[in-house]
Amino acid sequence: MPDNPAKLVPAVSSAPISGSLDPLTCPLFGLDAAGLATVLTSVGEPPWRASQLIKAMYHQYLTDISSITTLSLELRRQLAAKGWRIGRPGIAKAFQSVDGTERYLVNCLGPKLETVETVWMPEGDDGEAGDGSESGPGDEVENLRSSDAKSWRRATICVSSQVGCAVNCQFCLTARLGLQRNLTAGEIAGQVISVLARHSVRVGRDRVNLVFMGMGEPFLNYDNFMAAVRLLVREVGLSPQRMTVSTSGIVPGIERFVQEPPDIRPKLAISLNAPNDQIRTEVMPINRKWPIAAVVDAVRPIRLRPHERITFEYVLLGGVTDQPEHARELARLLRRSGLPVKVNLIAWNPGPGIAYRTPAADSVETFQRVLAGEGIPAYIRQPRGRDIFAACGQLKRTIEA
Ligand code: SAH
Ligand code: SF4
């Protein structure tokens, strides 16, 4: 056990730790510079050594204190003797798709054996970055550089925020798991580092986007989610402009999010999924609590960066939300919002026991055309890794069933 736990309140991990400093729940991984400095001070070392731990864990992707050769052997032994370990979540199982997508079950760090899904998607689709933003100027230069050594030019990592989810969207497999628990900041950031390590990603040189669109509702685990973002931006060096968080419309979370400083705030995506409150309540019962107007009102105060838009995700459910009149109604709704928007259209991915239909291919295209005709930019998101249980929550349910 680390000495004197009560004094140690690391900034990043304060939410997940919530007072307990059992090394099992408080590994070094997940602590920011201030937290690591406090650990070092507690073992009589100067706080500046935190930068050595940061480099080892977040840049060199080391997973074992004994391999941090910038620390003296004595200090490595001392940290281990006090109960400290790196404790990064690890990839338990990996599944590779023919399209290059890899899906992982990543081990959580709690006492119970639990996993979440994380996905690696090399390349974007159709000129779009995996996060739904269009390729920007400068990308080609960057792509050229990274393609020298890699088989991918850019990639997107899809990250989970909770084990399961409490929100109960009727079309979503993760909902069937119910909420098991929130992930800690270290468990959220750990998914990212594990995947960066697996693909030898050089942050700052390779182009990587993050989407917080895996299992769970990030805004129902707000503190840990934002602590993970701060860690990934400040200590790992990833850009918040290449991160997108998706929410089902948790208004109190959105209200906090729009106040986050722009140098740390990811882009925002709202899972709208329906053109009006009636259909939305049917497919997303959470809409009873926070209807569309309340969600839009909560987004409005956001201070957008130049060229930034709010993404509205729209899952097309065959016969339920995929008709041209739905597209027209959606366009009216988005125009009325007055927000700079774009729409990501996602054909529903079927899952066992869920009684919706996938939309016909031509209805997805028609939907996009209608939106475009109404002046709303819309992109069709290609399903990735269909052969490896692509629907969110499907991998975990299928493998662990
Ligand atoms: N809980 C958050 C983020 C995770 S879900 C949210 O709901 O926004 C990420 C996206 O996947 C959401 O837009 C959701 O509507 C969509 N989604 C969930 N299940 C799906 C399925 N079976 N097929 C296609 N999209 C799905
Ligand atoms: Fe939860 Fe998102 Fe699935 Fe809804 S769509 S149940 S909010 S993970």
Which residue in this structure is represented by tokens 């400083």?
Answer: 261
In angstroms, rounded to a whole number, what is the distance separating the alpha carbons of residues 90 and 86? 11
% of the chain beyond a pLDDT of 70: 83
pLDDT at 109: 83
Residue of 172, 382, 397 to test ligand 1 pocket, by largest number of atoms within 8 Å of CB: 172
| Range of weakest confidence among 2-16, 111-125, 180-194, 371-385 | 2-16
pLDDT at 141: 32
3-state secondary structure at position 267: strand
pLDDT at 246: 96
Confidence category of residue 396, pLDDT binned at 50, 70, 90: low
Which residue in this structure is represented by tokens 């899904």?
Answer: 117
Handedness of CA 364, 365, 370, 371 (dihedral sign): positive
pLDDT at 382: 76
Residue of 116, 169, 220 to test ligand 2 pocket, by largest number of atoms within 8 Å of CB: 169
Which residue intervals of 249-337 are DSSP H helices? 251-257, 277-283, 292-299, 324-337
**What is the arithmetic mean of pLDDT over 305-323?**
97
Query: Measured from the CB, is residue 27 less than 6 Å from ligand 1?
Result: no
Query: Measured from the CB, is residue 172 less than 6 Å from ligand 2?
Result: yes
Decide if pLDDT at 347 tops 80: yes
Decide if pLDDT at 14 tops 60: no
**What is the arithmetic mean of pLDDT over 296-322?**
97
Using one digit for the tens of pLDDT, what is the confidence trace for 155-171?
Answer: 999 999 999 999 999 99
In angstroms, rounded to a whole number, what is the distance separating the alpha carbons of residues 125 and 13? 35
**Ranges 31-40, 109-118, 378-387, most confident:** 31-40
Residues designated as active site: 117, 392
Whether the model clears a pTM of 0.85, i.e. scores above it, the answer is yes
Q: Are 120 and 101 in contact (CB under 8 A)?
A: yes
More confident: 289 or 11: 289
Using one digit for the tens of pLDDT, what is the confidence trace for 242-271?
Answer: 999 999 999 999 999 999 999 999 999 999
